[in-house]
Amino acid sequence: MSCFSSWKVTLIRRIFGVKFKKMETGKLIKELRIKKGMTQDELADKTEVSTRTIQRIENGEVDPRAYTLQMIAQALDVDFGMFIEKESDESLEIKKVNNNHWLGLLHLSGIIPLIFPTILIWNQKKDKIKGITHHYRAAISFQLMIFGIILGCLWIYWKVNILTPLIGVLLANALFTIMNTLRVMNGETFMHPGFNKNQKQKT
């Protein structure tokens, strides 16, 4: 099977796996609600969500948030764990690879030390990827260091009209950033002089 075919199979499994999970969760909620002798309107009142949302959850049309499931579990007087399905090994591996890609992108954002792209990525993923703050701090501190060196090189250029130091710093930064990006995406530890060197990646 080619890599492209394998990727398609994985994608189809994920799509239909999520859809199946939604349908099973909705079916379970509906059964528990009926067993309790409760209408959709009554369940909606107890959970502070609309009746339409309850209908869509029971029909498997939406993937309810954890907070909504907690409210439903409380209203139905059941354990919240009933609605949580343990992730398969394949799903966990896909999630790990995806997280590593985001961590790699975080480091790659420093190829031009503007800081703001790194902050935006971290802010978007800080509650979703374990250990991303460790990578964020390393990436930011390295960018600040490079930025300071660039300022020094610009001063040299202003004084003696020599661009070589500035070009050298920019090339070194690009090389170092790409190397760290590839290491992190492959699940290896990143390197950063003076920042907990060679610490194990926290993902």
- Whether residue 111 lies inside any domain: the answer is yes
**Coil/strand/helix, residue 187:** coil
Residues 6+ apart with CB under 8 A from 22: 60, 61, 62, 63
Q: Are residues 76 and 7 in the same domain?
A: yes
Domain that holds residue 116: 89-185
Q: How many domains does the chain have?
A: 2
List pLDDT tens digits, range 93-122.
777 888 999 999 999 999 988 899 999 999
Q: Are residues 102 and 169 in the same domain?
A: yes
Examine the fold and report which residue of 83, 106, 139 is the final residue of a domain before the chain moves on.
Answer: 83
Residues 6+ apart with CB under 8 A from 77: 36
Locate 88 and state its tokens: 């398969």
List pLDDT tens digits, range 14-32.
443 444 455 688 888 999 9
- Whether residue 174 lies inside any domain: the answer is yes
- Whether residue 202 lies inside any domain: the answer is no
Q: Are residues 36 and 118 in the same domain?
A: no
* pLDDT, mean of residues 27-41: 91
* pLDDT, mean of residues 159-176: 93
Q: Are residues 105 and 157 in the same domain?
A: yes
List pLDDT tens digits, range 177-189.
999 999 999 988 8
pTM given for the model: 0.54
